[in-house]
Amino acid sequence: MKTHVITADPERYEESCLSGAADLLKAGELVAFPTETVYGLGADGTNDSAVKKIFEAKGRPQNNPLILHFSNVSECSEFAECDDRFYALADAFMPGPLTVVLPSKGICAPSVTAGLDSVAVRVPVHPVARSLIKACGKPIAAPSANLSGRPSPTTADHVIKDLDGKVGIIVDGGACTVGLESTIVKLDKDKATLLRPGGITLEMLKAVLGEVAVAPEVLSPPEPGAVPLSPGMLLKHYSPKAPLYLVRSEKHEKRAEFFRKSALCGENAVICFEGDAPASKNVFYLGTREDEAEHARRLFDLLRLADEGGAKRIYAPMPSGDGIGLALQNRMLRAAAFRIKDI
Near ligand TXA by CB under 6 A: residue from 6, 35, 245, 270: 35
Question: Taking the complex as a whole, how short is the minimal distance between the CB of residue 145 and ligand TXA, in angstroms?
Answer: 7
Contacting Mg ion within 91-110 (CB under 5 A)? none
Separation between Cα atoms, residue 180 and residue 334, nearest integer Å: 13
Element (H, E) at 335: helix 325-335
Contacting Mg ion within 208-237 (CB under 5 A)? none
3-state secondary structure of 70: coil
Near Mg ion by CB under 5 A: residue from 99, 144, 230, 262: 144
Q: Applying CB under 6 A, does 40 fall inside the site for ligand TXA? A: yes
66 binds, among ligand TXA, Mg ion, none (CB under 5 to 8 A by kind): ligand TXA
* Residues touching ligand TXA, count (CB under 6 A): 27
Q: Are 134 and 280 in contact (CB under 8 A)?
A: no
Among 269, 247, 265, 264, CA closest to 256: 247
Q: Can you spell out the DSSP letters for 159-176?
A: HHHHHTTT-SEEEE--S-
Residues in the chain: 343
Phi, psi (degrees; rounded to nearest 5) at 300: -65, -35
Separation between Cα atoms, residue 87 and residue 258, nearest integer Å: 48
Q: Applying CB under 6 A, does 120 fall inside the site for ligand TXA? A: yes
Answer left, alpha or beta for residue 253, where phi above 0 means left and psi between -120 and 50 means alpha.
Answer: alpha
Candidates 71-79, 88-96, 179-187, 327-335 — which segment interacts with ligand TXA by CB under 6 A?
Answer: 179-187
Q: Applying CB under 6 A, does 222 fall inside the site for ligand TXA? A: no
Candidates 105-113, 136-144, 245-253, 265-273 — which segment interacts with Mg ion by CB under 5 A?
Answer: 136-144
Contact residues: Mg ion, CB under 5 A: 143-144
Contact residues: ligand TXA, CB under 6 A: 35, 37-38, 40, 64-67, 99, 101, 113, 116, 118-120, 122, 142-144, 181-182, 184, 195, 230-233
